[in-house]
């Protein structure tokens, strides 16, 4: 599509992105993608145990998208979510799942909690790794797994890459520092003896154009901008996408980045030598 380039949008205030999701909690619950079965199979492989029967802590659980899928896999899930509106959506969708308010840097559980898996679905980038990773290891059993994963627009799919480039041109600072490729190096750099393993899973979903635009609008940058500032950007995306998907059904393409690392076994000091 040709035409006059759109002017850049004034970026949201610093520090507002992490606090933005409560304003779009319902939209997030209805429009965000889930995760394919292959993700949970990969987590089981890298964690070295099935999810069925596993005690799982879903941190930054949001509206419970991963919570529900983990539960369906047979996991015994406890959800941790800081946002009131996001937590309300989660509780409405999964009333039987234990839910606590908290953040990854200060998990409200004792050191003997003994979870088999601590998972961050689309959430670890909002934490300080130097604090959230030791906290995860603290509540994991020895040999338990920390799993971090993100749905990322697939850069190998032309229309998805073009959309991200358009948004980056118009939205200063938009996804300026993607963390998913950096997660393994960040984990290794903490000096905790972690040996992360990674997988990239490619998958797609077909949704109405309105759902795709609502998904975009639920991203932190758009949520922090507010509806008035976001509206012209989303309108321009509607016009651009109708050139690609004239029937109004968008085939979203994702590269799902997964990183899993195990808690090292507890090492016991050698007994003192007898004189």
pLDDT per residue over 156-198, tens digit each?
A: 999 999 999 999 998 888 875 567 889 999 999 999 999 999 9
DSSP run (H or E) holding 17: none
Position 210 scores a pLDDT of: 98
pLDDT at 20 over 90: no
Which of the residue ranges 34-43, 189-198, 230-239, 259-268 would you say has the lowest mean pLDDT?
259-268
Q: What is the pLDDT of residue 17?
A: 58
Q: Is the pLDDT of residue 138 over 80?
A: yes
Nearest to 120 by CA among 202, 65, 159: 65
C-alpha to C-alpha distances, 12 to 138, 173, 222, nearest whole angstrom: 35, 9, 9
Residue 62: is its pLDDT beyond 90?
A: yes
Question: Residue 239 pLDDT > 70, yes or no?
Answer: yes
Residue 200: name the closest of 258, 148, 124 by CA: 258
Per-residue pLDDT band at 1 (split at 50, 70, 90) = very low
Beta strands in the chain (DSSP E): 55-59, 76-80, 99-100, 115-121, 140-153, 197-208, 249-262
CA 257 – CA 255 distance, rounded (Å) = 6
Give the E-state strand segments of 20-75 in sequence order.
55-59
Q: Is the pLDDT of residue 52 over 60?
A: yes
User: Does position 211 have pLDDT exceeding 90, yes or no?
Assistant: yes
Residue with tokens 């950096």: 182
Give the confidence band of 10 by pLDDT, cuts at 50, 70, 90.
low
Q: Is the pLDDT of residue 266 over 80?
A: no
Lowest-confidence region among 4-18, 110-124, 196-210: 4-18
**DSSP run (H or E) holding 3:** none
Share of the chain above pLDDT 70, in %: 88
pLDDT of residue 269: 42
pLDDT over 90 (residue 16):
no
pTM for the model stands at 0.90
pLDDT at residue 13 in the model = 53
């Amino acid at each position: 599509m040709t035409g006059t380039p759109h002017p850049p949008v004034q970026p949201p205030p610093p520090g507002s992105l992490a606090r933005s999701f409560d304003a779009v909690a319902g939209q997030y619950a209805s429009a965000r993608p889930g995760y394919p079965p292959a993700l949970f199979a990969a987590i089981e492989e890298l964690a070295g145990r099935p999810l069925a029967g596993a005690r799982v802590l879903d941190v930054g659980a949001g509206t419970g998208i991963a919570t529900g899928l983990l539960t369906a896999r047979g996991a015994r899930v406890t959800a941790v979510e800081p946002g009131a509106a996001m937590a309300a959506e989660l509780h409405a969708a999964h009333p039987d799942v234990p839910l606590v308010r908290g953040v990854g840097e200060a998990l409200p559980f004792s050191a003997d909690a003994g979870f088999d898996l601590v998972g961050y679905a689309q959430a670890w980038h909002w934490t300080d790794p130097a604090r959230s990773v030791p906290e995860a290891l603290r509540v994991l059993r020895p040999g338990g797994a920390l799993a971090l994963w993100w749905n990322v627009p697939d850069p190998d799919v032309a229309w998805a890459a073009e959309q991200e480039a358009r948004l980056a041109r118009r939205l200063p600072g938009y996804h300026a520092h993607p963390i998913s490729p950096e997660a393994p190096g960040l984990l290794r750099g903490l000096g905790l003896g972690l040996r992360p393993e990674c997988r990239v899973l490619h998958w797609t979903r077909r949704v109405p154009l309105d759902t795709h635009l609502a998904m975009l609008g639920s991203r932190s940058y758009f949520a922090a901008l507010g509806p008035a500032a976001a509206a012209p950007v989303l309108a321009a995306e509607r016009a651009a996408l109708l050139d690609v998907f004239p029937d109004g059904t968008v085939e979203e393409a994702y590269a799902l980045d997964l990183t899993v690392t195990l808690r090292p076994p507890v090492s016991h000091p050698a007994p003192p030598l007898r004189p």
